[in-house]
Structure 1
Amino acid sequence: MSSNCPESDATDSTVPSNEHWSSVSKHVVNSYLEANNAFLAAMGISPSSESETSTITTRRRPENAEAPITELAFGNEAWLMERSVDDYDDLDVGEYVRFTKTIDDTDVSAFAHISGDTNQLHLTESFAEQTQFGGRIAHGTLVAGTISAALARFPGLTIYLSQDLEFRAPVEIGTTVTANCKIIEKLGETRYRLQTTVETDDEITAIDGEAIVVIKEQPAN
């Protein structure tokens, strides 16, 4: 993945306090359990957890919000999704998916813990206040992850081949962002080039770029 950022992040980092991490430990554990259950399900093994899969709210057809998208193992009722086409055979240039979620403090802390990116710019308010951003901001790669989330919601099985990113604006913690992925060129039978952007709820483009993906028909269960 290539990226270009006009303002580089601060390079100093410290290990966050135990008190800071305790607030997200449950989130991290739950994320691990969900990933493990998804793997077991893919292998045809019933997960031992009794937790139910959450539904995905659809902005385009809210009356169908009760039905989850079958291609996805897990969802969250706070997430929003809109897509222009529901059938794999209808994929073509111009079709799109939009995915919306709020980047909250738990997301930032969990991402720092999982990735190891403990830059103070993202975790320590007193430090971040002294930077050009005036406060803590979300990791750029965390925000860019919403592009991957949107791609996963195209009908079929989406496989990343490449992603170019340009970080245009910071995303403050607590901001709701929308990833937009639109097919702009068909490169082969299953290969596509897409325009990929992430916008804030103030319609500011935080990330711009292009992706090359393969979208195959969803394997039979």
Structure 2
Amino acid sequence: MSDNPKPTVEGGSDLPGWEWDRTVEDSEAVAVGDSVTFSKDITDDDVVRFAEASGDTNPLHLEDDYAAETRFGGRIAHGMLVGGLISAALARFPGTVVYLSQDFEFKGPVRIGDRATAEVEVADTLDGGRYQLSTQVLVDDEVVIDGEAIVLIDEAP
């Protein structure tokens, strides 16, 4: 786990089980190859709260008996919940990060109890403080989401 100053949630610290690291400490020094990772376990509570927040109440995510009869053989996390780990990684870049675009492809399911890791790497420096990023989410070293993003990184106020 990183010894870097950490963004906080209500209560003043990262939640138990969150792990992250980054290779750059200064928003003005971000360069190609710099990266951030963010890992957490995907819990039943995460899935239920995401359904409540988003309105996505697909029984594939919420109902054991229903999900057991699907191609997945059980409940899986919402793809957008798992994709949100990329945003969590971006929040750990130095400075103020603004998402401008994100494209990703779902490669495999994430099950409740899986530990998912978002890996974000600067692929290109663009004009105006913008960066093209390679983005992935992995479970047990298997890519479950693959994509790219464009972000704007400003100095922190």
Residue by residue over 1:159-209, the C-alpha shift from the partner in whole angstroms, topping out at 9 and shown as x without a partner, is: 000000100000011100000010000111410000000000x11100000
Q: Which residue is 2:85 aligned to?
A: 146
- Counterparts of 2:44 and 2:142, CA distance in 1: 20
Residue by residue over 1:23-52, the C-alpha shift from the partner in whole angstroms, topping out at 9 and shown as x without a partner, is: xxxxxxxxxxxxxxxxxxxxxxxxxxxxxx
- Counterparts of 1:169 and 1:150, CA distance in 2: 20
The structure 2 residue matched to 1:77, chosen from 4, 10, 16, is 16
Q: Which has the larger radius of gyration?
A: 1
Q: Which residue is 2:38 aligned to?
A: 99
**Does 88-97 or 154-163 show the bigger shift?**
88-97
| Unaligned 5+ runs, structure 1 | 1-56, 59-63
Structure showing greater relative contact order (alpha-carbon pairs closer than 8 Å, 6 or more residues apart)? 2
Larger proportion of helix: 1
Q: Which residue is 1:125 aligned to?
A: 64
* One-letter amino acid of the structure 1 residue matched with residue 150 of structure 2: I
TM-score (norm 1): 0.67
Larger proportion of strand: 2
The structure 2 residue matched to 1:161, chosen from 87, 96, 100, is 100
Please list, as runs of the form range in 1=range in 2, the aligned pairs for 1:1-221 lying within 5 A after superposition.
Answer: 57-58=1-2, 64=3, 68-69=5-6, 72-74=7-9, 75-200=14-139, 202-219=140-157
* One-letter amino acid of the structure 2 residue matched with residue 216 of structure 1: D
Per the TM alignment, residue 77 of structure 1 is displaced from its structure 2 partner at its CA by: 3.2
Per the TM alignment, residue 73 of structure 1 is displaced from its structure 2 partner at its CA by: 3.5
* One-letter amino acid of the structure 2 residue matched with residue 155 of structure 1: P
What is the RMSD of the two structures over their aligned residues, measured on CA atoms?
1.1
Per the TM alignment, residue 86 of structure 1 is displaced from its structure 2 partner at its CA by: 1.2
- Counterparts of 2:29 and 2:153, CA distance in 1: 12
* One-letter amino acid of the structure 1 residue matched with residue 89 of structure 2: A
TM-score (norm 2): 0.94
Residue by residue over 1:128-184, the C-alpha shift from the partner in whole angstroms, topping out at 9 and shown as x without a partner, is: 010000000000000000000001100000000000010000001110000001000
- Counterparts of 1:96 and 1:189, CA distance in 2: 20
SS of aligned partner of 1:106: helix
> Number of residues paired by the alignment?
153
* One-letter amino acid of the structure 2 residue matched with residue 160 of structure 1: Y
SS of aligned partner of 2:84: helix
